[in-house]
Amino acid sequence: MELGFIRHGQTRWNLEGRLQGSSDIELNDTGRAQASDAVQILGSARWDVIVSSPLSRARETAQIIADGLGLEVGPAYDLLIERDYGEGEGVLETEAAQRWPGKIGGGIESLESVVDRGLRAIEQIASDYPGKNVAVVCHGTIIRYTLSHFAGYQLDTIRNGSVAILEYEIDGWELKLVNDQMPQPPVKTQ
């Protein structure tokens, strides 16, 4: 079983550097093009279904990809919604960093909660589609920190429209691709 995680395409708030979290912001034209580009990375033969977060930027990205792969869009999973930034929703990243260092406080959801939701989403999707290859369109923070759990180190920022592949093997889930590339563990210095 493989899960292909795709971060939704760009929105106006992404472009402006705003925290959008659980706010329902639509794709812009660049975001639609990024969704189309993701089809090439995903390839057409290996995906059985595409699911997503219920937020419109993820659903539209999923629809564009599904159209490109000749698939139907499956269900939306509330567990895949982006981190709730509380009072930080809509605030510029630079201002949020000053007001809530480390993105702690202001009603901002903890990273532990985000990862917990991400892991539960993976369990639910695997249960709903046993043995199937599922493309999952959701959001940068939930992808980054959930997949960091499997990688064993913190991944870099997940780019809009990029693909990450998580494969289930005998020993469990293994990260095979992130930001359209093979994962690169950090180099240890002495």
E strand or H helix that includes residue 124: helix 111-128
* CA gap 8, 178 in Å, rounded: 14
Is 89 a known active-site residue?
no
Is 139 a known active-site residue?
no
E strands along the chain, which residues?
2-7, 49-52, 73-76, 134-138, 163-169, 172-177
Question: What is the token pair recorded at 93?
Answer: 């990243």
From the candidates 8, 89, 109, 139, which is the catalytic residue?
8
Q: Is the separation of the CB atoms in 52 and 79 below 8 Å?
A: no
From the candidates 26, 60, 72, 82, which is the catalytic residue?
82
Catalytic amino acids?
Answer: 8, 82
